[in-house]
Amino acid sequence: MPIYEYECKACGHRMEKLQKISADPLKECPACQRNGLERLVSAAGFRLAGGGWYETDFKTGSKKNLVADGQTASSATGSKTESPSAPTNKGAAA
């Protein structure tokens, strides 16, 4: 469930409320008991960082944040990685 931010236009009281997406917006201010609450537009509380599907699939052209010279992010930092073309079968029975 998302956390919504509200501000009362009558008294300026600000608050957050955990609500279902399908729930109607709150109207009555808990501070002044008037119908002045309005839902605010705010940023998400998380950020996708690092490499991942979103890094290449939803950005175009020069906006892609790829590691130079075709290196993977982990090989650029010196980490050892396994080749994706050489599958390993570490004791898993099929």
Q: How many CB atoms lie within 10 A of CB 50?
A: 8
Q: CA–CA separation, 59 vs 50, rounded Å? A: 14
pLDDT digits (tens, 9 = 90+) for 17-37: 999 989 999 999 999 999 999
pLDDT at 43: 76
pLDDT digits (tens, 9 = 90+) for 32-89: 999 999 999 887 766 666 666 655 666 666 665 555 545 554 544 554 444 445 455 5
Average pLDDT in the 7-13 region?
Answer: 96
Alpha carbon 61 to its chain's center: 22
Query: What is each CA distance from 27 to 1, 12, 40, in whole angstroms?
Result: 19, 13, 12
Q: CA–CA separation, 16 vs 58, rounded Å? A: 31
pTM for the whole structure? 0.48
